[in-house]
Amino acid sequence: MAVKLTVNELAALVGGKVIGDGDCLIEGLGKIESARPTEVTFLANPRYAHYLSQSKAGAVLVSAGTSASGTTLIEVENPYMAFLTLLEGFFPQEPWVNVGVHPTAVLEEGVDVDKSAAIGAFCFVGRGTRIGERTILFPHVIIGPDCHLGNDCKIYSHTAIRERVHIGNHVVLQPGVVLGSDGFGFVPDSDRYRKIPQVGTVVIEDNVEIGANTTIDRATLGETRIRSGTKLDNLIQVAHNVDIGSNSVIAAQTGISGSTRIGKGARIAGQVGFVGHISIGDDVQIGAQSGVGQSVPDKTVVSGTPARSHNLWRRIEASLTRLPDLFRRVRAIEKQLKEELPENKK
Amino acid sequence: MAVKLTVNELAALVGGKVIGDGDCLIEGLGKIESARPTEVTFLANPRYAHYLSQSKAGAVLVSAGTSASGTTLIEVENPYMAFLTLLEGFFPQEPWVNVGVHPTAVLEEGVDVDKSAAIGAFCFVGRGTRIGERTILFPHVIIGPDCHLGNDCKIYSHTAIRERVHIGNHVVLQPGVVLGSDGFGFVPDSDRYRKIPQVGTVVIEDNVEIGANTTIDRATLGETRIRSGTKLDNLIQVAHNVDIGSNSVIAAQTGISGSTRIGKGARIAGQVGFVGHISIGDDVQIGAQSGVGQSVPDKTVVSGTPARSHNLWRRIEASLTRLPDLFRRVRAIEKQLKEELPENKK
Amino acid sequence: MAVKLTVNELAALVGGKVIGDGDCLIEGLGKIESARPTEVTFLANPRYAHYLSQSKAGAVLVSAGTSASGTTLIEVENPYMAFLTLLEGFFPQEPWVNVGVHPTAVLEEGVDVDKSAAIGAFCFVGRGTRIGERTILFPHVIIGPDCHLGNDCKIYSHTAIRERVHIGNHVVLQPGVVLGSDGFGFVPDSDRYRKIPQVGTVVIEDNVEIGANTTIDRATLGETRIRSGTKLDNLIQVAHNVDIGSNSVIAAQTGISGSTRIGKGARIAGQVGFVGHISIGDDVQIGAQSGVGQSVPDKTVVSGTPARSHNLWRRIEASLTRLPDLFRRVRAIEKQLKEELPENKK
């Protein structure tokens, strides 16, 4: 972190306009409430506006029209996006794997690795697999035969990619990801289970990111597919023949059963479970720990187990707190009726 | 996939009888609604029977007595099982690891590997471990000392098997499985936790399959045991001293706490949790996301948290949807009683 | 397990007093109901006292004042703790990795490994990383650059530690742990998600143990921290910027969302989910499968989804079983009112 830039230089990086001391040297980034004079911060949420006047930051990224006395401001269109740009600048991604093939790596015959790619120590690449430009395999990645990896991918350590998996461009796999494990398919056959061969594959489209130790099973026939721009968190289970639409986000420990389809733009919280063979529409939101047992239409917000409309679920949850009391009230009514109804008073 | 067989040859493989063109060349398999003239398909579910007459498939596996004009049929006893047999034939499992020990693998002293076994790149096998006939270790498998692996096992990449684990024959471990990690045993000791040594082991019997990134802890004393023919899906947690009966199936992300016993023939859905020290009978079925807090008798179907009889749970779930309305109804009754009971009208 | 000790020698190890045959040779440990004459056992729970007189054990660890005819006793202050001490003695932890660096391991430049440490086969250690005294890396551990590992750590196989992670002393990581994966941070940016750089790190304090395949994400800025003495079970998800207090225990498959703080002394059961940005107090207990959506004060016991006071939750759960019947009762009341209220009888 030896990067040092003046406020003016930062402003140039993000296309911003300096109001105040443009020569101040900045060495890092901080939060508005705690940033130091050598740090730059941002104000995006009006709730934090009161920190602005008392901030010690060397500069604060703000929207046009924000004023503050005594604090240097950098006016930008979107302070948070500008902050992300500076975050990338101050903490450049250093992949720490050298371009080329580490001498300990094993590449089987017919492997085609672009010369701008970086293959780390102890990587194994199976025969016939192709690896694109600038793609990085961190140490201890194993890729089976006949796979394809596109350009600019980052595959972190202890990821296991089985045979015939297809990965697009700009894909990030965090450590321990498994792609292409056999789907869970067994059929009762007299007194035992017979395995259903899982001969399909997995396709990961461009700009997908997959979290640590997440598992994605290969299809029985055909493919399990994660569409472009979708982000999966850690420890997620994606079963065989699942299809997840583009630009969806799914939080940790969610599980999706076989052949279920999820639309694009989904926002799915953590520890959700989906049964198999259902269809989730586009732009759906699903609350944490929900159990989704039926198809869900486009643009729906559901929660709970079984998943219901979010509003109904909130009313049910609120009702539950008062449920023991409801029993007391019904008992009181029954007693009153018994004692006071004319029929009972004879 | 250069396999090409005539319909007559396929019929011979599955012991079937051809009705129609036995000379047609088949190159693959498909679904009845979309199979091409060079593909074979099957009809097992009567719901799909209407596809039969319009199918373009080169041949359709059917039960005896099925008729269709214009489509070649192969009559077999069980069309789906016959289809699986062909699936195995057309997509032969190609383990892509050569018989013998890869030059990069490390075998410690006293390791006994059968000469028909295949040990992939970067595998590590600890001292005194024995590996049976035709067993395959894919690249990057690590097996600790004093383990036993039987015949015809497939151990996929990044599986970690700690010391003294015993694995039977025909066992499949998908990538990233952990066997023999320490059980979670700690006892409060003044102001900290003291670790309870986990000195037992894990036994995996014949024909067990274990899914990707599933973890099975070693016993405190004695053994954690998965009995023959049982299949575990991905990301399952099996705690110390658990015993799972034979021919059970357990779906992804289920967790089983310490010392719990599960009988044979269990069918357990995903994301289920079991407390410790309970006993689940034989042939039990458990619904997804259930929380099982008590022992469950043989042949019982339970669901929900806490797990109840499946029928009761369904009635409770249905009631919940109408619960907010029930509060409204009780309020209405209370109001009516206040206004209209003779006592209150004086 | 060739250890053989007399009862007198065992007593000396645990500071106990022998009543009976101190010369009896002991070769192992057992449970009070099944221990053999060559085994030592313990009596801690009075519920098992009836086994004492009939036990065949060579010796029984008991509290002072316990009497039994015909059974050799070893009086100690805490029989269970004494048993743990003997468990450690009879089953010494044999790390099976030799001190020094295995010839297949790759250490990048500037790595500083203490000469008492043991680095197993195929380990990779990134540049600038320091590894303390007596710390053991089992085969197939990968540690990124600029990390610090303290003394007496055990890092099991297939653990992946990314760059700049700090690990204290006496830390145990079971197989497959991931430390320092990118936090799940993405922000909508026109029609796609933009990644928020995750430039913070992870700190694991002294005496922490982390279970198999558990994942701990690095912070966005700052650090994700697990404080001293805390124990995490298998398959747990800890998101970016989480802070878990000291001497807490968390059972398997629990997930903790970003920036949530958990106090010290927490006891958290399995499959619990925490939303982000909440604060859990000290000495809190949380029931299995709970969904914690709000901050929880010190010394509170909560359960359920959403998590409520444990007592209220138990009453709600009990009410649910009778909920279908409550609907019937309310219908009966409504019918009775309709028929019998004077208003309705006109």
Q: What confidence tens digit (pLDDT) does each residue in C26-84 have?
A: 998 888 888 899 999 999 888 888 899 888 999 999 998 888 878 999 999 999 999 99
C231: nearest CB among B140, B186, B342: B186
What residues form DSSP beta bridges with A203? A166, A225
Q: Is the pLDDT of residue A293 over 90?
A: yes
Q: Which residue has the higher pLDDT, B8 or B92?
A: B8
Residue A72's Cβ-count burial label (10 Å; 0-12, 13-18, 19+) is buried
| Cα distances (Å, whole numbers) of residue A299 to A232, A244, A282, A284 | 20, 16, 6, 5
Work out the minimum CA distance from B87 to partner chain A, whole angstroms.
Answer: 7
Q: Long-range CB contacts (< 8 A, 24+ apart) of A267-272?
A: A270/A233, A270/C237, A270/C255, A270/C257, A270/C273, A271/B271, A271/C255, A271/C271, A271/C273, A271/C291
pLDDT-derived band of residue C1, with 50, 70 and 90 as boundaries?
A: very low
Q: Is the pLDDT of residue A269 over 90?
A: yes
Q: Do C324 and B319 touch (CB under 8 A)?
A: yes
Residues B217, B259 contacting (CB under 8 angstroms)? no
Residue B161 tokens read as 């098997």
Interface membership of B310 toward C (CB under 8 Å): no
Q: Which residue has the higher pLDDT, B212 or C345?
A: B212
B254 Cβ neighbours under 8 A, 6+ residues apart: B233, B236, B237, B268, B269, B270, B271, B272, B273, B274
Q: Do A213 and B209 touch (CB under 8 A)?
A: no
Q: Is the pLDDT of residue B94 over 50?
A: yes
Got the DSSP string for B37-91?
TTEEEE--SGGGGGGTTT---SEEEEETT---SSS-EEEES-HHHHHHHHHHHHS
- Domains identified in chain A and CATH numbers: 5-90 (3.40.1390.10), 100-311 (2.160.10.10), 321-345 (no CATH)
Q: Do B126 and C96 touch (CB under 8 A)?
A: yes
Residues C339, B335 contacting (CB under 8 angstroms)? no
Show the CA angle centred on residue B131, arms to residues B129 and B133, nearest 5°.
165
Contacts of B318 in chain C (CB under 8 A): 324
Among B111-115, C36-40, C277-281, which stretch is predicted with the lowest mean pLDDT?
A: C36-40
Secondary structure class of A154 (helix, strand, coil): strand
pLDDT tens per residue across span B127-150: 999 999 999 999 999 999 999 999
Among A92-101, B276-285, C298-307, which stretch is predicted with the lowest mean pLDDT?
A: A92-101
DSSP state of B220: S
**Strand ordering across the sheet containing A291-292:** A106-107, A124-125, A142-143, A160-161, A178-181, A215-217, A237-238, A255-256, A273-274, A291-292
**What residues of chain A, 68 to 87, have a C-beta less than 8 Å from chain C?**
80-81, 84, 87
pLDDT-derived band of residue B4, with 50, 70 and 90 as boundaries?
A: confident
Interface membership of A276 toward B (CB under 8 Å): no
Contacts of A139 in chain C (CB under 8 A): 106, 124, 142
Residues A159, A181 contacting (CB under 8 angstroms)? no
Q: Which of B286, B320, B325, B326 to mutate to test the interface with A (most CBs of A within 10 A)?
A: B320
User: What are the residue numbers of the active site of B?
Assistant: 240
pLDDT-derived band of residue A172, with 50, 70 and 90 as boundaries?
A: very high
- ipTM score: 0.93
pLDDT tens per residue across span A103-135: 999 999 999 999 999 999 999 999 999 999 999
Residues C74, C82 contacting (CB under 8 angstroms)? yes
Work out the minimum CA distance from C190 to partner chain B, whole angstroms.
Answer: 35
Secondary structure class of C305 (helix, strand, coil): coil
pLDDT tens per residue across span B291-344: 999 999 999 999 999 999 999 999 999 999 999 999 999 999 999 888 876 666
pLDDT tens per residue across span C180-219: 999 999 999 988 999 999 999 999 999 999 999 999 999 9
Interior/surface letters B70-93, b for 16+ CB within 10 angstroms, e for the rest: ebbbbbbebbbbbbbbbbebbbee
Contacts of C191 in chain A (CB under 8 A): 247
Contacts of A330 in chain B (CB under 8 A): 330
Residue B304 tokens read as 């929900």
| Interatomic CA distance for residues B44 and B83, integer angstroms | 10
Q: Do A193 and B229 touch (CB under 8 A)?
A: yes
Token pair 């005539």: residue: B6
Q: Is the pLDDT of residue C93 over 80?
A: no
Work out the minimum CA distance from A155 to partner chain C, whole angstroms.
Answer: 12
Average pLDDT for chain A: 94
Beta-carbon neighbour count of residue C53 at 10 Å?
11
Interface membership of B99 toward C (CB under 8 Å): no
Arithmetic mean of pLDDT, A202-219 = 98
Closest-CA residue of A relative to C235 is: A235
Which of C110, C146, C122, B142 shows the shortest CA–CA distance to A123?
C122
Q: What is the pLDDT of residue A344?
A: 60
**H or E element in which residue C63 lies:** strand C59-63
Which of A215, A240, A209 shows the shortest CA–CA distance to A227?
A209
| Interatomic CA distance for residues C169 and B291, integer angstroms | 37
Average pLDDT for chain B: 94
Q: Which amino acid is at B343?
A: E
Q: Is the pLDDT of residue B2 over 80?
A: no
B218 Cβ neighbours under 8 A, 6+ residues apart: B162, B164, B165, B180, B181, B182, B183, B198, B200, B201, B202, B224, B240
Residues A51, A34 contacting (CB under 8 angstroms)? no
- How many residues are recorded in chain B? 346
Contacts of B315 in chain A (CB under 8 A): none
Interface membership of B49 toward A (CB under 8 Å): no
Arithmetic mean of pLDDT, B37-62 = 90
Q: Is the pLDDT of residue B258 over 50?
A: yes
Percentage, residues of chain C above pLDDT 90: 83
Arithmetic mean of pLDDT, C297-324 = 94
pLDDT tens per residue across span A30-74: 888 889 999 999 998 888 888 888 889 999 999 988 888 789 999
| Interatomic CA distance for residues A188 and A175, integer angstroms | 35
Q: Is the pLDDT of residue A1 over 50?
A: no
Choose the catalytic residue: A50, A102, A158, A240.
Answer: A240
Q: Is the pLDDT of residue C345 over 70?
A: no
Which of B117, B112, B175, B170 shows the shortest CA–CA distance to B146?
B112
Q: Is the pLDDT of residue B12 over 70?
A: yes
Residue C306: is the preceding peptide bond cis (ω within 30°)? yes
Strands A223-226 and A201-204: what pairing?
Answer: parallel
- Chain A neighbours, 3+ Cβ pairs < 8 A: B, C
Q: Do B91 and A320 touch (CB under 8 A)?
A: no
Residue B233 tokens read as 């899906």
Work out the minimum CA distance from A212 to partner chain C, whole angstroms.
Answer: 7
Work out the minimum CA distance from B297 to partner chain C, whole angstroms.
Answer: 19
Q: What is the pLDDT of residue C308?
A: 94
Q: How far apart are the first and last CA of chain C?
A: 91
Residues B39, B28 contacting (CB under 8 angstroms)? yes
Contacts of B160 in chain C (CB under 8 A): 140, 156-158, 175-176, 212
Helix, strand, coil percent values for chain C (each to nearest 5) = 15, 30, 55
Work out the minimum CA distance from C293 to partner chain A, whole angstroms.
Answer: 9
| Cα distances (Å, whole numbers) of residue C53 to C24, C74, C82 | 18, 14, 20
Interface membership of A142 toward B (CB under 8 Å): yes
Interface membership of C275 toward A (CB under 8 Å): yes
Interface membership of B249 toward A (CB under 8 Å): yes
Residue A311 tokens read as 């509003």
Contacts of A237 in chain B (CB under 8 A): 233-235, 252-253, 270
Residues C306, C289 contacting (CB under 8 angstroms)? no
Q: Is the pLDDT of residue B1 over 60?
A: no
User: What are the residue numbers of the active site of C?
Assistant: 240
Q: Which residue has the higher pLDDT, A1 or B90?
A: B90
Q: What is the pLDDT of residue C339?
A: 84
**What residues of chain B, 196 to 215, have a C-beta less than 8 Å from chain A?**
207, 209, 211-213
Show the CA angle centred on residue C324, arms to residues C320 and C328, nearest 5°.
140
B119 Cβ neighbours under 8 A, 6+ residues apart: B97, B100, B101, B102, B105, B107, B113, B125, B131, B137
Interface membership of B229 toward A (CB under 8 Å): yes
Residue B136 tokens read as 């395959």
Q: Is the pLDDT of residue A346 over 70?
A: no
Q: Do A156 and C158 touch (CB under 8 A)?
A: no
CA dihedral B194, B200, B201, B205 (to 10 degrees): -130
Q: What is the pLDDT of residue C283?
A: 98
A326: nearest CB among B104, B231, B330: B330
Token pair 């192709």: residue: A130
Q: Is the pLDDT of residue A337 over 50?
A: yes
Arithmetic mean of pLDDT, B59-85 = 92
Q: What is the pLDDT of residue B9?
A: 93
| Interatomic CA distance for residues C242 and C236, integer angstroms | 13
CA dihedral A319, A323, A328, A330 (to 10 degrees): 60
